[in-house]
Structure 1
Amino acid sequence: MMSLFFCIGGIIVAGHALAFRNALLTISLSIGLIACGGGGGEGGESANDSWTEVAPPSEKPEDLINARINTALSIGSAVNLTLQDQTSLLKWALNTAEHQRYWQKNLLGSLYSDANNKAIQPHLQFTPNASINIYPTDFSTTLPIAVADGTCNWALSLQANKGCGLGVAAQIGKGRALAYGQNMFTGVLNNNSDFTQFTGVLNNSLRWLITGNTKTALNASLNIAVSGYDTNTAKRYFEQQLGTAVNILNCNVLDPNNLCWKNADLILLSSNIGSEKFDRALIQGYLDAGKPVYFQASGDNVNSNMEKVLAAMGMQTNGNYWRTKDTLLLSKPKTYQQRWDNINQIDATIKTLQYFNSPASVTLGELNTSNSMIQSINALSSSLQTLNNQGLSAFSEENKNSILKALVLIADLWRPSVNYTGLNINSDPLTFMQTYASDAWLDYKRSHTKAALQGAGDYMPVAAQNMPVSSDWETITVTIPQTIGVTAIGRASIPAKAVDIQIVDAQGANLAVQTSHIRTWGSPFDADGYKRPLHPNSYGVKLNTGTDNKFISPFGGPLMLNYNNATAGSTITLKIKGSAKYAHFDFTQPITDADIDAAKASLQSRTFGWNTFKFTDGEIQQITAYALKAIGNTAPRDYIERIKTVVYKSNHIANGYNNMPLDSSTQDYCNTLGWDCTGTIHRAPGVQHFVGWLAYCGYLCSGNPSDGATGVDTGWGWVHELGHNTVQGVLTMTFPSTENGNTIGCGTECNNNILAGVSMLRKYEIYGLDNNGNNFNHPLLYSNIQDNRNTNLSGELLRAKMEKRLWQGNDNAKQAFHMQLAYNYTKLHQSKLRPDSQGVFEFMRLLNISQRLYNQIDVATATTADKNKLGLGAFTTKNLSRPDMIYVLSSKIMGYDLKEMFKLYGLPVTDTARASIAMLNLADAPLNFYAQPLNRSNHLDEGTWITLPATGSVPNYPY
């Protein structure tokens, strides 16, 4: 009853809920039921290739394990196993895998053999809008028997570069199951050439399904219970093709209360069962009782009841309405070995286990991500991950895969000796591979595991293993900031110590638990070596309601809730036992000075590897060393308040998000403009996570989480990365070059620095910290203007020259353009003598607000009055160039026509844009430039206004 779960397209469906069988019991192989010959020989052309039955392994799995191993496989704990047991476990896992290959390879060979044991070379063509595709979810009990020739570029492809699944067979418990993704019977009966040449394989599979042997004739009569399919067609097929008299039972086998299923020799199901009310366990029960179950689709629809049936059979499906016929064709001649190589998953597992059983007898090859054994280890790891994602353990009754159980225990036995110091691809190969496997074969949904005695590298110090954990239940409340995401719980998983979690009140959310929320941790194959676990943070383990959820990690880490379907702002209540308190600061809930002192003491002890902060709009996770350096002597409240103020609030004000209240000046002007500046379209983005440990790219890297090789603080890097994540089009001045058509301007790494620059402006204003005063290089921008005017060009030639000079030049000068717009806003609209922070932020805020309003409007149907609210009156389609969009929105906000200012800066503006602003009857903006000293852009009070002439040379820069 092996059951090798593989992660296919990230989806897996558990098999039926048989009770866990003692590992000593004989594995259900049905070996004697698979004959070397095929039945009938109808359809398809035979080849010279002859089928020879694969010999069974010389040993039986039950002869290779003792009572200790048997107990360990039952309870999921290696605590009482010895080094000798490790050897026995490896042999047992290998033998179990070899038995799996034995029944699967024999079954496949016999299906594609005629009566003379010659290979059938069939032709099968599915119709895209009349079929579905079917794939195994459990390769130890389920075997793809018909796979299209081409690559199946779809979510549930069999595996990388393999074909679409047309048919699947399974042995589950005492029963057998068979499924095809199209109406096979009608195709054959109607003499459809897409199906007739596959008749031999189809009939072999049906004989195997009912008798267990591909060439054993069916009994003279056959009782069939049919649901969702035409009974007359089913009767005709079996009588005409398989020579048996068919009695269609008056039996609704999908009625959970029926008893007539016991009289059926075959249960036949098809697509039209959507109205029936049953659970997957009903089909599982039939298979458990030894009833053959056959499913064939009757169209391209996939309903939940079909998915229940297939899930019970160890299969999954997707539709193929949009596929082309060539991706659903099986016709290429293949030898038996080629057909096996195209579908099998077990050979790679066998090779990997052979290596660990006898390293000297197997060629390992170069250690890299392309190594077949590395890939096999990862595939098995994905199978374990998928189980945990479903809230299951490898040792749960639902998992039929004995191999996975053994691998988890083997990994536990190897792990204590793991040492990440000095380990790399040039180390002893066996040590490297055992470390890799012990890092990969993880099961977090249980009560026992083992940690590396030398610690988890730079992810977690060895001292953390001795941290005390709670022995009594604690009630924990967790603030949920959005509908889907990851958030810190405030407790830690200590390496190799089990945590129990109960859901008290999920507030309707779906919950999973994991350690850490990080996205990069390096690779064992990197030049700097194998410095930490392969995947130090756990994947999400589903939390089930009404039970104690077990969780354990060999590496530990901050516990996180992975949630979806939640209500933003809700509070989820959990009970937790077996976790530890660490340096966690949660400012989303009331936090006392005593709480802060305790967290600070934990941080300073350096016992645990990580520190976390949680606050509205953001969360921080950083290694202890970085946290101590970033926080320094600052009080934790002050540390986080500065980060909130400089990094988050400044960005959100400039972006016009409605989580930051409008000041009275901005609100009054929104009212005057007739804009909705606080509606739902202006909601702030999801919670931003920052991780200080390793950077995904470079030194700091944007994303969610954003990460950097430093502690989290108010420096340029973090505001820069947050700028990447939130920048809008109105700060992105990119357009085709007039000279050659190439895209030029202020794009990525320039646009986000406009947001970063205004954050630094606010940082100086509030805290007096003068960082990156050269980000807006006004002297260089002015020098471009001066040099351009000195060319003595005029008109379009002058503008085009400035376009090339500025927008193909230095980014800091380009960024200063938006600031000059903001400065002019304070002068022309607010009538201020000098720019100030309020005015700059008001302009940036309104510009970003206008972007979202622009995104919402339909200029093709909007009234002229509504279009004029954004300066779009002359536009009939919303295909504005970037200069046009910024020109019309900025002119509307400024209350002046900026066409001469845009010309000054070399920006091409269309006649339609100029006509659109002309409809507003605005005065032309004067050419004002606010000059500031070099590197002093944060010092708004130090500048002076320069008025530029419309033509000719301009005054010298005053600084």
Structure 2
Amino acid sequence: MTARASAFRNALLTVSLSIGLIACGGGGDGGGESASDSWTEAVPPASKPEDFINARISAALSTGSAASLTLQDQTALLKWALSTAEQQRYWQKNLLGALYSNASGNILQPSLQAPPHASLNLYPTDLSTGMPFAMADGACGSPLGLQAGKGCGLGVAAKIGKGRALAYGQEMFGKILSNDAGFTQFTEVMNNSLRWLIAGDAHQELKKSLNVAVKGTNAANVKRYLEEKLGAAVNISSCNVLDPANACWQDIDLIVLGQSIESEKFDQELIDQYLSAGKPLYFQASYWDVGSNTQKVFNAIGIQSNHNYFRDPNTLRISNSMSIEERWKRMNQVDDLIQTLQYFIDPASVTLGELNSSNALIQSIRTHSSALQGLNAQGRSAFSEDNANAVLKALVLIADLWRPDVNYTGLSKNSDPLTFMKTYASDAWLDYSRSTAAASKTGAGDYMPAAAQDMAVSSDWETITVTIPQSSGVTAIGRASIPAKAVDIQIADAQGASMAVQTSHIRTWGSPFDDSGYKRPLRPNSFSVKLNAGAENKFISPFGGPLMLNYSNAAAGSTVTLKIKGSAKYAHFDFTQPMTAADMNAASASLQSREFGWNTFKFTGGEIQQITPYALKAMGNLTPDAYIERIKTVIFDSNHMANGYRNMPLDSSTQQYCNALGWDCTGEIHRAPNVQHFVGWLAACGFLCSGNPSDGAAGLDIGWGWVHELGHNTVQGVLTMTFPSTESGKTIGCGTECNNNILAGLSMLRKYEIYALDSNGANFHHPRLYGNIKDNRSTGLSGEALRAEMENRLWQGDDNAKQAFHMQLAYNYTRLHQGKSQPDLQGVYEFMRLLNISQRLYNQIDFAKPTAAADKYKLGLGAFTEKNLSRPDMIYVLSSKIMGYDLKEMFRLYGVPVTETAHASVAMLQLPMAPLNFYAQPVNRSNHLNEGTWLTLPAAGPVANYPY
């Protein structure tokens, strides 16, 4: 065990810190005191944590297992946690009072103004060891959201093992010495904080001689400050404390670090060593960015940060006059924890208040849940040797003791309050990075049935290969976490990626405060737990779920290899790598058994997670194989074909035309986009809700909804016909909820072609589009006035008519370029593929390079000197190039405003002018490509009636 770990463990059972208020320190500058407002040190708590320890509790706090704890131990454990929290409040509140008072006990009222461009917002990662004693007036919050709505952190004091650390988010020594008006009034608090750091007492005079090591900040300022303001004789040591090989650090009285340490070569363990040995460590920021070495220091002293570059100076100012109690209330979270523990010990002693998300006890429970999440994100447990927050250990064990009796049936905020609160706490105080946990005997509501707890898990190591589709994201592993059964994971081959494990990839799960009741765990999907290389990583969930790999810094398309033990096989279908018939049959059998709550599907570019009842309902009478094939074909393959992604091979016709055009249609830029996740369980909004993941209150099927949501996340600019209105200047056209439906309609077109299932036949409303043309021509206008009237009529009108515009382009492509008498699916998809491919080719052109002229010519962009095409110009030029015809008159027919530069660009291609052809189809029959009739429209004047 390291010295630091030993110090932490010794701190678990005894927390005894006293803050003396004797002896006068040097310096009387600044800070303005309030003589009428004095402060007296609080008395120590009546009990100590060790008063409530027995052998069983001691063992549980060490091992992380509540298995041996009895019913009687629950109260003792709660009292142990309460006493530990009271000890924390005692030392922190006394320290805060000492920092903001003089030796006589009179309260100081300092001011401080941090500079936005040259400062950091600092906040403790663990509020049991760190205290944000200097918090600005304006709302800022902590970087990780642990203290949302609170002030920016300008200064943090921390006790790490035997050591003390002090960190300021801005340069302090030089600013005060130069009499900077924003800093001088903070001098006395600064002096108090330095005396506490060096001597352990905010008002104790420093010893006359100090041996100080300084790296990364101005040593002369450090020396001058300590001598002038605190009366010490300072020797600036030549000892390089950031050299891991140094042997001189033991003679140092104070280590001072700044941000100019990035060229040094050291690891966090070096800083840990100093703190474990009790060396005082001071850090001050002077810049808005955080380098890797600075982050090592922050990790060691338990600080999180973000920059203040764009913050209003008012949010970085301490100016309000406050009592010690007011300052304490702004920065502490332990008072609410104490009240929460008191409630669970004796509910009658605490006024609970209304049960909602704003309830102070509820917020305290969530705060400590976030602290546990932060540990898991680092691959650590509450029971890790280097976790100094002893209370977290007790909370996790208490939750384990309560959880077996949790029952979500009939539970609501109107139920027995104590039952509700115990359920809430057992759902929140979770530690997934360990070997033991407890599950509810009745299951996890509609997230996971109780039957899943009996599923067999592997007793031997399995080697699992996982396809990594993109550089970062979340992907299914293919194994399940069974409730309260430990999974062991080793990284066999990470391919350079950073990885973590979690259960489920969902974004909504309802609220316990919903009127419909507390139906499922507060957060049924686990935290993300970092996987450490070269280690046997422990993972356990009381709720279970599909295991997901959360990865970053990966190579898209690579595979990583894991070794897993203790997981279960479930209904997982992975089409990113070969699946044997046996694997398919086993997954199908698991789905039909309803034993596990979830099933997952993994395709190139898409992943599905849905609850088993929804999957079986969506499947209906289909076999699992047939159901899966339809999902793959209609939702993913059709969308990827239309978008021209290279995972869907080009047919020979499209490939030949790519060759003729000189286009690279299969290169790296045409990879499928970031994986689209779908979740069938609960919807974040409405019935189906777009996003990533997209989610819905239904199983995945091949109806309109899911293809519509996928369209949202893959649609490109060439399907987005938006532009400023010629009349009003406001943006009009086919944008969100219109452009994605072009892709959705193409999926429906292919569904009809393959399965003869006719859905959304009016999505491309050709009769309505033609009606706009007829009404426009009936106005008697001509020239630009006619075009502008059509612009207003069509592009501010019905979306289904707008969507039909792109289809008419595709239909014309099949006639003019392919010479087909009627449009067909191949021709429509070829045009859409090429249009989307050309968008990505356009994105790659660098107009400043010598090769730009040739690249532009390939796309018909010869007259453009800047890469700033409007949507109409882009679609006009690219479509003309693809069609092999100048579509000038056709775009004018539909009221699309095209610039003279675009006309000149297409004219350079010397293409014939396209005739005004329109392919008419019966109402609601747009999926029936063989049922239409070609119409040729006159260049001016009235047009014939629609033939259907």
TM-score, scaled to structure 1: 0.94
Matched with 2:932 is 943
Alignment-derived partner of residue 597 in structure 2: 609
Residue number among 734, 746, 749 corresponding to 1:746 in the alignment? 734
Deviation readout 1:108-154 (Å, 9 max, x if unpaired): 11111123211112233334454444322221111122223333488
Aligned runs of 1:376-395 on 2, under 5 Å? 376-395=364-383
Q: Is the 8 A contact 1:929 1:948 kept in 2?
A: yes
1:510 aligns with 2:498: yes
The reply on whether 1:49 has 2:37 as its aligned counterpart is: yes
The yes-or-no answer on 1:917 pairing with 2:917 is no
Paired position in structure 1 for 2:615? 627
The 1:538–1:220 alpha-carbon spacing in structure 2 relative to 1, beyond 3 Å, is: same
Whole-angstrom distance in 2 between the partners of 1:320 and 1:223: 33
CA gap 1:329/1:16 in 2 versus in 1, 3 angstroms:
farther
Residues 37 and 113, structure 1, Cα contact 8 Å, conserved in 2: no
Task: State the SS of the aligned residue for 1:194.
Answer: coil
Do structure 1's residue 889 and structure 2's residue 878 form an aligned pair?
A: yes
Q: Give the aligned partner of residue 369 of structure 1.
A: 357
In structure 2, how many angstroms separate the alpha carbons of the residues matched to 1:239 and 1:174? 26
Which of 327-336 and 531-540 deviates more? 327-336
CA distance in 1 between partners of 2:637 and 2:12 (Å): 63
1:829 aligns with 2:778: no
Does 2:851 align with 1:873? no
Q: Tell me which residue corresponds to 2:482.
A: 494
Q: CA 1:643 to 1:242, structure 2 compared with 1: closer, same or farther past 3 Å?
A: same
Q: Which residue of 2 aligns with 1:195?
A: 183
* Counterparts in 2 of 1:242 and 1:23: CA distance versus 1, 3 Å: closer
Change (3 A) 1:881 1:88: same
Q: CA-to-partner distance for each residue in 1:455-483, whole Å, 9 max, x for gaps?
A: 10011011111112222222222233333
Match of 2:576 in 1: 588
1:561 is matched with 549
Q: AA paired with 2:818?
A: Q
Question: Bigger shift: 42-51 or 309-318?
Answer: 309-318
Contact 2:25 2:204 in 1 (8 A): no
2:677 counterpart SS class: strand
Query: What is the CA distance between 1:770 and its match in structure 2?
Result: 2.0
Q: Gaps spanning 5+ residues in structure 2: where?
A: none
The amino acid of 2:539's aligned partner reads F
List per-residue Cα deviations over 1:650-700 (Å, max 9, x = no partner).
111111122222223222322333333222222210222222212222222
Q: 2:452 aligns with which of 455, 459, 464?
A: 464
* Structure 2 CA distance for partners of 1:36 and 1:595, relative to 1, 3 Å: farther
1:467-482 alignment, distance < 5 Å: 467-482=455-470
Q: State how far apart, in whole Å, the 2-side matches of 1:625 and 1:463 are.
A: 14
Q: 1:877 to 1:227 in 2, by over 3 A?
A: closer
Q: Is the Cα contact below 8 Å between 1:501 and 1:548 reproduced in 2?
A: yes
- Identify which of 882, 885, 888 aligns with 1:899: 888
C-alpha displacement of 1:400: 0.5
What secondary structure is seen at the aligned counterpart in 2 of 1:487?
Answer: strand
Q: 1:491 Cα shift?
A: 1.6
Q: What is the alpha-carbon distance in structure 2 between the residues aligned to residue 464 and residue 955 of structure 1? A: 66
Match of 2:802 among 802, 810, 814: 814
Whole-angstrom distance in 1 between the partners of 2:37 and 2:590: 70
Question: CA-to-partner distance for each residue in 1:558-603, whole Å, 9 max, x for gaps?
Answer: 1122222223333322222221222222333333322222222222
Cα deviation code 1:342-388 (max 9, x no counterpart): 22222232232233233233233332223232222221111101111
Over aligned residue pairs, what C-alpha RMSD do you find? Answer: 2.5
- Aligned match of 1:66: 54
Is the aligned partner of 1:762 residue 2:753?
no
Task: Work out which of the residue numbers 327, 334, 337 in structure 1 matches 2:322.
Answer: 334
Spell out, residue by residue over 1:169-222, the C-alpha distance to the aligned partner (whole angstroms, 9 max, x if none): 111222222222344333333344333322211211122122211222122333
**How far 1:897 sits from its partner (Å)?**
2.2
Find the aligned partners of 2:217 and 2:786 in 1 and give their Cα distance: 77
Q: Does 1:927 align with 2:939?
A: no
Change (3 A) 1:533 1:61: same
User: Retained in 2: the 8 A contact 1:37–1:110?
Assistant: no
Distance 1:489 1:544, change over 3 A: same
Q: Structure 2 matches for 1:293-308, cutoff 5 A? A: 293-297=281-285, 302-308=290-296
Quick one: which of 760, 766, 785 aligns to 1:772? Answer: 760
Tell me: CA distance 1:439–1:331, structure 2 relative to 1, closer, same or farther (3 Å): same
Q: Distance in 2 between matches of 1:906 and 1:224?
A: 77
Tell which deviates more after alignment, 412-421 or 878-887: 878-887
Residues 1:397 and 2:388 are matched in the alignment: no
**1:688/1:879 Cα in 2 relative to 1: closer, same or farther (>3 Å)?**
same
| 1:150 match: secondary structure | strand
Tell me, in whole angstroms, the C-alpha distance in 2 between the residues paired with 1:282 and 1:54: 36
Secondary structure class of the residue paired with 1:21: helix
Q: 1:314 aligns with which of 272, 278, 302?
A: 302
Matched, 1:245 2:222: no
Q: Give 3-state SS (helix, strand or coil) of 2:698's partner.
A: coil
Q: Residues 588-638 of structure 1, C-alpha deviation per residue, up to 9 Å, x if partnerless?
A: 333332222222222222111111222333322221112223334444343
1:840 to 828, 833, 842: 828
Aligned length: 945
Q: Which among 26, 30, 53 is matched to residue 17 of structure 2? A: 30
- SS of corresponding position for 1:193: coil
Q: Percent identity of the aligned residues? A: 73
1:683 aligns with 2:671: yes
* 2:151 counterpart SS class: coil
Given that 2:447 and 2:520 are in contact with CA atoms closer than 8 Å, whether structure 1 keeps it comes out as yes
CA distance in structure 1 between the aligned counterparts of 2:12 and 2:140, rounded to whole angstroms: 39
Paired position in structure 2 for 1:524: 512
Q: Tell me the alpha carbon deviations over residues 755-792 of structure 1, each in whole angstroms, 9 at most, x when there is no partner.
A: 11111212222222222222212122222222333333
Q: 2: distance between equivalents of 1:693 and 1:24?
A: 42
1:836 deviates by 1.0
Give 2:70's aligned residue: 82
Q: 1:521 to 1:36 in 2, by over 3 A?
A: farther
Confirm or deny that 1:700 pairs with 2:688.
yes
1:6-37 Cα deviation digits (max 9, x unpaired): xxxxxxxx99544652677321x421545698
What TM-score do the two structures reach when normalised by structure 2?
Answer: 0.95
The 2-side partners of 1:277 and 1:155 are apart by: 27
Q: Which runs of 5+ in 1 are unaligned?
A: 1-13
Match of 1:9 in 2: none
Q: Distance in 2 between matches of 1:166 and 1:229?
A: 18
Greater Cα offset, 513-522 or 146-155: 146-155
**Aligned with residue 204 of structure 2, among 206, 211, 216:** 216
Corresponding residue SS for 1:107? helix
Q: 1:791 to 1:190 in 2, by over 3 A?
A: closer
Cα deviation, 1:904-942, whole Å, max 9, x if unaligned, reads: 222233333333333333322211111112222111111
Report the Cα distance in structure 1 between the residues aligned to 2:873 and 2:33, rounded to whole angstroms: 69
* Partners of 2:171 and 2:135 in 1: CA distance: 16
For residue 713 of structure 2, what is the aligned residue in structure 1?
Answer: 725
Give the 5 Å matches for 1:785-800.
Answer: 785-800=773-788
| Deviation digits for residues 716-750 of structure 1 (CA, Å, limit 9, x no counterpart) | 22221111111111111222334433332222111
CA distance in 2, matches of 1:900, 1:831: 20
Q: 1:485 Cα shift? A: 2.1
What is the Cα deviation at residue 319 of structure 1? 4.5
Aligned mates of 1:623, 1:942 — CA distance in 2: 41
Partners of 1:608 and 1:157 in 2: CA distance: 34
Q: 1:106 offset after TM fit, Å?
A: 0.8
CA distance in 1 between counterparts of 2:696 and 2:380 reads 34
